Amino acid sequence: MRIFSGIQPTGRKHLGNYIGAITQYVEAQERGDAVLCIVDLHAITVPHDPAELRERLYDTTAILLAAGLEPARCVLFRQSDVVEHSELTWLLSSVTAYGDLTRMHQFKDKAAAQRELVSAGLFFYPVLQAADVLAYRAQEVPVGEDQRQHVELMRDIATRFNARYGDTLVVPAHRIPPVGARIMDLQHPERKMSTTGGSEEGTIYVLDEPSAIEHKFRRAVTDSGSEIARAPEKPGVSNLLEILAAVRAVAPADLEAQLHGMGYGELKAGVARAVIAHLAPVRERYERLRGDEPALERTLADGAQRARAIASDTVADVRERMGVGAPRRSRPLP
């Protein structure tokens, strides 16, 4: 089974990215043929500093490797190194409904946050994301809850393409984890943890020092009452339980039973300890990997070469089906 996912090289990676997505990428190596892409072309759809983008790209590469991605067991690459993503975006745009793009939550949120320019790139972002996945004919897309709508859209795009031009693309399914798909901000548990929309105090970064993690959990907002349980009126406690369940790989219901009678202070301290222990080895490995940029660059270049071999085949089929370019004689389509 082919599994594809992408992550932006922007901001600092946080616990939401780690639990909701990165953990799943690492597991994908066990379950199938994993292809992971660091999406720098998506990152330029909002204002950015070019030099910083390159730095953040290396940071993200090192975090993914530190988390357990092994270049020998997956394809890890930088999106802009495989030009087929850009070409396929344009080809697929003609089977993408304009109305669907206007309904994308992420576009609406990000557009509302722009002060100067809402770029057409931001509007087209989901088409590029569809091209990312469809270029690899991936069956599965591990993501957090916030990407559900984007995966639905790529399914519609693939289905429409196949209906119009004949079976060519694989219609992918999302894989959203049952626990940890939407980690919330510790200070505003009604908002998702995020580098752009969250609070600094309420966001745990993968590379935070243990003392910072401890401090942020100690200050985490809890709810009225004293019961440790998941409930809609207890977003703070529910989030802490969800985080603990995810890092300990146990069911939240079992945790509720185990922690019955414990105070909120003790719960927060326990979650902090578990998260610190979970992230400590990642941080150590990161420090070693991040220092060697030429090695990171070699890993990405090798990944891009392997990625291109797959993507170019799909793009050639799509061009052929659409009647774009010179006809291909050597390998007729089924």
Q: Pattern 22-61, binding to ligand TYM, x per CB under 6 A? A: -----------------x--x-------------------
Residue listed under structure tokens 């950015």: 48
Minimal distance, residue 183 CB to ligand TYM, in Å = 4
Q: Which position among 38, 193, 245, 271 is part of the footprint of ligand TYM (CB under 6 A)?
A: 193
CA distance 71 to 300: 9
Residue 6 or 303 with smaller CB distance to ligand TYM: 6
Residues 54-113 that bind ligand TYM (CB under 6 A): none
Give me the residue whose beta carbon is nearest to ligand TYM: 20
Residue 4 or 58 with smaller CB distance to ligand TYM: 4
Residue 74 or 320 with smaller CB distance to ligand TYM: 74
From 69-77, 189-197, 283-291, 312-320, give the range in contact with ligand TYM by CB under 6 A: 189-197
Count interface residues toward ligand TYM (CB under 6 A).
Answer: 26
Please tell me the number of Cα atoms within 13 Å of 287 on its side-chain side: 8
Residue 35 or 320 with smaller CB distance to ligand TYM: 35
CB 225 within 8 A of CB 160: no
From 110-118, 163-171, 190-198, 209-217, give the range in contact with ligand TYM by CB under 6 A: 190-198
Residue 61 or 320 with smaller CB distance to ligand TYM: 61
Q: Which position among 155, 192, 278, 321 is part of the footprint of ligand TYM (CB under 6 A)?
A: 192
Amino acid present at 152: E
Residue 146 or 320 with smaller CB distance to ligand TYM: 146
Residues 199-258 that bind ligand TYM (CB under 6 A): none
**CA 259 and chain centroid, separation:** 31
129 binds ligand TYM (CB under 6 A): yes
Which residues bind to ligand TYM, rule: CB under 6 A? 4-8, 16-17, 20-21, 39, 42, 129, 132-133, 141, 143-144, 146-147, 150, 181-183, 192-194
